[in-house]
Amino acid sequence: MNQPESNHPPETETRPWWRRIPLTLQIVIALVLAVILGIALGAGNPNPSNAALINNLAIPAELVLKALRALATPLILVAVLHTFMTTNIPGTAGRRLAVLLLTNTTVAIIIGLLVANILRPGTWGDLAKPQKTITGQSLDPWGLVKDAVPEAILKPLVDNNVIQLIVIALCFGIVLRGLKSEQIAQGKNSYQPVEDAIAVLFEAVIRILNWVIALVPFAVFGIVAKTVAERGFAPFQSLAAFIIAVLVALVLQAAYYLSRVKIGSWVNPVKFLAGGTDAFLTAFSTSSSTVAMPITFEVLQTKIGLRESSASLGALVGANFNNDGTALYEAMSALYISQVIGQHLNLGQQLIVVLTSIFASVGAAGIPNAGLVTMTLVFTSVNLPTEYIALLVTVDWFLDRCRTAINVMGDMTVSALLDGKKPHL
């Protein structure tokens, strides 16, 4: 999702020195310090007298996760409303765009789930002692449909139910958009205040989210120190397996994009990759597809040679709904944690993961760590314990960069496909 126009003060010199250290570096420092503390506290053989201290180390991660869970629903709601109120999607192209977005995201999630089912990264190491094995309910498509409509409008916000929430957000988004268009056709726009209010709310949620994200290094410090102190380094083998599995899936998704570009557009995939380098690198280095957006738009036209209309539909409009890398990551994380704790997810539950990941990725803002926020909703939908997301926080700073580059590549693929088989002159 797009970030609202913000009037941030310019990067001020008055920030305290520690806030001027890039977040990634803060996390790396936190990791190093945590390992030192973890070793000092026993590295797998903790002294019982330190038990209380070790337990308390989990508090920052618990707080960060609680805050992320609380912010996830308002973020999705205002982000979807904001996009509907502020973007212009022409009719037929809009339908093509919707089909392309849905296909690409579904393929991403299927690739993610296939890789996670085949490699089974959750079984490689010893991240957590398996609890009891819980097998899920069987597939109930009718139940899914019945559950899509909430009993009360505010209930999805309270229950953190992502499917119901998106249903509400889409209904209001479509209606507000329609009302605004009717007014504009009559030469007035009394919906401007509503649009402004939504933009302000969106900005407010993102700013609060930034506070929470600023605390992530403390969460990483606490959870890593606790894990090393209690269980040594074995759990990190499992996280390394997860990183490898996600990277394999992202590479497969990139290969899928390139073959779609080759088959469905006039663009040469090699030129597509080379021309898009600036956009991919910006996405990777900032972890934000929104920050990369103007560069993506630019390279699509100047380096790859697409028409402005296709570049803008894919990279400016589609980008708001299209986060394939995020969708893939959320689905894989759910499956990974289910493997780690021995809570088998059957086909029906994996289908719920597919659906909620699609919705969660639509609602994920194009900012760093947004996928982590909406992931809480995917976990809740299949009763996975969200505490385990705290462990994923330790690797998210790296995987976020990789999935953001794929998010941007997805937007560029959509633009190329919209541009069709004939280059413009």
Residues that bind ligand ASP (CB under 6 A): 287-289, 323, 326, 364, 366-371, 400, 403-404, 407
Nearest residue to ligand ASP on Cβ basis: 371
Is 333:340 a contact under the CB 8 Å cutoff?
A: no
Instruction: Give the angle subtended at the CA of 265 by the CAs of 263 and 267, to the nearest 5°.
Output: 105
- Long-range contacts formed by 208-211: CB under 8 A, 24+ apart: 208/71, 209/71, 209/75, 209/365, 209/367, 209/370, 209/373
Q: Which is nearer to ligand ASP, 57 or 391 (CB)?
A: 391
What is the smallest separation between the CB atom of 312 and ligand ASP, expressed in angstroms?
18
What is the smallest separation between the CB atom of 239 and ligand ASP, expressed in angstroms?
18
Q: Give the ranges where 120-191 is alpha helix by DSSP (H).
A: 141-148, 155-159, 162-185
Q: Which is nearer to ligand ASP, 57 or 390 (CB)?
A: 390
Q: Which is nearer to ligand ASP, 340 or 375 (CB)?
A: 375
Helix (H, G, I), strand (E, B) or coil at 24: helix
Q: Which is nearer to ligand ASP, 189 or 210 (CB)?
A: 210
Is 177:81 a contact under the CB 8 Å cutoff?
A: no
What is the smallest separation between the CB atom of 280 and ligand ASP, expressed in angstroms?
12
Q: Which of 377, 403, 382, 305 is nearest to 339 (CA)?
A: 382
Residue length, the chain? 425
How many Cβ atoms sit within 10 Å of the Cβ of residue 332?
Answer: 31
Q: Which two tokens stand for residue 118?
A: 């085949």
Q: How far is 41 from 61, CA to CA, in rounded Å?
A: 19
Q: Which is nearer to ligand ASP, 239 or 341 (CB)?
A: 239
Phi-psi region for residue 149, left (φ > 0), alpha (ψ -120 to 50) or beta? beta
Q: Which is nearer to ligand ASP, 169 or 406 (CB)?
A: 406
Q: How far is 420 from 221, CA to CA, in rounded Å?
A: 49
Q: Which is nearer to ligand ASP, 206 or 345 (CB)?
A: 206
What is the smallest separation between the CB atom of 190 and ligand ASP, expressed in angstroms?
34
Q: How far is 331 from 364, CA to CA, in rounded Å?
A: 14
What is the smallest separation between the CB atom of 222 and ligand ASP, expressed in angstroms?
22
What is the smallest separation between the CB atom of 210 and ligand ASP, expressed in angstroms?
13
Q: Which of 265, 255, 305, 287 is nearest to 400 (CA)?
A: 287
Is 371:402 a contact under the CB 8 Å cutoff?
A: no
Q: Which is nearer to ligand ASP, 38 or 366 (CB)?
A: 366
Q: Which is nearer to ligand ASP, 343 or 413 (CB)?
A: 413
Helix (H, G, I), strand (E, B) or coil at 369: coil
What is the smallest separation between the CB atom of 157 and ligand ASP, expressed in angstroms?
21
How many Cβ atoms sit within 10 Å of the Cβ of residue 83?
Answer: 23
- E strand map for 236-382: none
Q: Which is nearer to ligand ASP, 217 or 366 (CB)?
A: 366
Is 88:180 a contact under the CB 8 Å cutoff?
A: no
What is the smallest separation between the CB atom of 102 and ligand ASP, expressed in angstroms?
18
What is the smallest separation between the CB atom of 234 and ligand ASP, expressed in angstroms?
28
What is the smallest separation between the CB atom of 98 and ligand ASP, expressed in angstroms?
19
